Amino acid sequence: MRISAGDLRDPQVQRLLLLHLNGMRQNSPEGSVYALDLAGLEQPEISFWAAWDEGDLLGIAALKVLPGAEGEIKSMRTSPEHLRKGVARALLKHIIEVAKEQGIWRLSLETGSGASFEPALALYRSFGFSNGAPFGGYRASDFNQFLHLDMSDGPTSLDQNKGLSTESPHSAQIVDDRLTGRCLCGAVRYEVADAFEYSLNCHCSDCRRATGAAFKSLAGIASYKLRVRSGEESIFRYGDKAAQDLHCRNCGSLIYSLVHDGRIAHVAMGTLDQAPSIRPSKHIFVASKAPWHEITDDLPQFDEFD
């Protein structure tokens, strides 16, 4: 079996995609079909793969990158002539590996209920996916369900589980030193590993405006090591895919920022419930600092980043 980038112009790929769309429509109530068509799969945030055996198409699958370094699995379909040969399992494993490489902290999918969805559900559960809240703008209904695989305990967890554990990967990570944090009103709560790679006081005008303070103390960490425990639906994102600030929609608190295309989280340290092990090591963008503010500590000062 060979898995490679799928060609949406390939007639076998198009035929299987059509079969997938029709199958979804047959087995889902009106208004509950979210499967992507050809145009939907051509969007830049989507990676699409096909599994082949020589010239025979075995199956297709896609990964959509959502804002905030989350991933959504789409268009998983095995060719009817190649069922029960491990095609879907191989494609799912491939998606999980790519997602880990990209620093995605959670993989999610939307699917339906009923007998025709059971084999797929069993497959996802065997990889540790479990039912959870709607995500990415989906609305809950009696028919659809949402599965998530949390990868926030790091890139090694799936290697340890070999992707076959039926236990939630959550159980393994309680032993880590974790910090919690929340917004002013408490609607949004998160947890993050106490393993920040750096911590800075940023005096740039963006940080001053985003916080309303003289400067922002931030701590940086790979974004998969942070996860929102509750209030995901209350998060408001300001910015674009490359860099965005996540605020609570209710109280306005800046909770953290995602930078470097979502791979790095900058936690606004004022939202932490406990003291992290790290301390700010320097002042940056001091050239833009508020003129009414005087830096009175001995930390090194840099006009720009360093």
Q: Return the number of the residue (46 or 251) whose C-beta is nearest Zn ion.
A: 251
Query: Among residues 95, 248, 268, 272, which is the contact residue for Zn ion, using CB under 5 A?
Result: 248
Write the burial class of residue 70 (CB in 10 Å: 0-12 exposed, 13-18 middle, 19+ buried). buried
Residue nearest to Zn ion (CB): 248
Q: Return the number of the residue (130 or 288) whose C-beta is nearest Zn ion.
A: 288
Which 181-210 positions form the footprint of Zn ion (CB under 5 A)?
183, 185, 187, 202, 204, 207
Closest CA relative to residue 295, chosen from 198, 215, 207, 200: 215
| Chain mean position to CA 161 | 20
**Residue 21 CB, nearest approach to Zn ion (Å):** 40
Which 3-32 positions form the footprint of Zn ion (CB under 5 A)?
none
Closest CA relative to residue 3, chosen from 43, 61, 46, 45: 61
Q: Return the number of the residue (129 or 196) whose C-beta is nearest Zn ion.
A: 196
**Is position 251 an interface residue for Zn ion (rule: CB under 5 A)?**
yes
**Residue 189 CB, nearest approach to Zn ion (Å):** 9
**Is position 235 an interface residue for Zn ion (rule: CB under 5 A)?**
no
**Residue 24 CB, nearest approach to Zn ion (Å):** 37
**Is position 250 an interface residue for Zn ion (rule: CB under 5 A)?**
yes
How big is the site for Zn ion, counted in residues (CB under 5 A)?
9
Residue 181 pairs in a beta bridge with 190, 272
**Residue 238 CB, nearest approach to Zn ion (Å):** 14
| Chain mean position to CA 156 | 17
**Residue 305 CB, nearest approach to Zn ion (Å):** 9
Collect contacts of 96-102 with beta carbons under 8 A, ≥24 apart.
96/127, 96/149, 96/151, 96/158, 96/163, 98/47, 98/63, 99/63, 99/71, 99/151, 100/151, 100/155, 100/158, 102/65, 102/69, 102/71, 102/263
Binding site for Zn ion (CB under 5 A): 183, 185, 187, 202, 204, 207, 248, 250-251
